[in-house]
Amino acid sequence: MGVRDCSAYTAAMNDTVASASDLPPPVAVTGRVPGNAGTWVGIFCVLVEFLLLFGVYFVAKAHHQEAFLAGPDKLATVAGVTITFLLLTSGYCMVKAVEMIRADRRRATLGWVLGAFVLGLGYPLVKFFEIRWNVAHGIDGEAGIFYTTYYYLTLNHLVHVSWGLLGLIWVAVRTALGMYSPRDYSGLEAAAVYWHTTDVIWLVIFPFFYVLR
């Protein structure tokens, strides 16, 4: 390599170093387990349970393609979309709650947990009105295989969301009593990761019944 080539190489390297330093630092993988071990046993059990239920959905769909083609048209899409918005926004509140306790802002933590709870409570409320609307339009558990599967999966999800809501009440009480700190907030984080898991499952259920044909 000649002198000229060498200086061109150095200049190119300098450019590379300069552009690399402009990049954000890489995210450090700490390997920690958010929350606590017990919650993760529950989370993986729930995920396996819903994978099996999704298997039921796929088999039913394969056997009754016409019913699954027409089924979503009769459901109130607005209910499914509203539930999705409520769960995602409630999940965002729990992200902020964890952020706040790390910053030792306990009143703000309580505010975000209560926000997550109130938004989460909107889910059973919307579900109540959706089912009332369904029944008024002849969509009950005997309206056909699509609707049977729809009730089976969505009500099962609602049960899991109810556990999450009870968890949020528990976490709110403990936050109000000052039982979490920046050094120990595993209970709060455990409730948050479980709550986000119900989001992940709903993000599958929503397109299955309201979007896919």
Binding site for another protein (CB under 8 A): 27-34, 40, 44, 47, 51, 54, 58-59, 61-63, 65, 69, 72, 77, 80-81, 84-85, 88-89, 91-92, 94-96, 98-99, 192-193, 196-197, 199-200, 203-204, 206-207, 210-213
Residues with Cβ within 8 Å of residue 15, at least 6 apart in sequence: none
CB nearer another protein, residue 52 or residue 177: 52
Alpha-carbon gap, residue 183 to 189, rounded angstroms: 12
Residue 40 beta carbon to another protein: minimum distance, rounded to whole angstroms: 7
CB nearer another protein, residue 147 or residue 210: 210
Alpha-carbon gap, residue 145 to 76, rounded angstroms: 18
Residue 10 beta carbon to another protein: minimum distance, rounded to whole angstroms: 36
Direct distance between the N- and C-terminal alpha carbons of the chain, in angstroms, rounded to an integer: 63
Residue 35 beta carbon to another protein: minimum distance, rounded to whole angstroms: 9
Alpha-carbon gap, residue 114 to 94, rounded angstroms: 9
CB nearer another protein, residue 91 or residue 144: 91
CB nearer another protein, residue 58 or residue 128: 58
Are the CB atoms for 208 and 133 separated by under 8 Å? no
Helix (H/G/I), strand (E/B), else coil: 74: helix
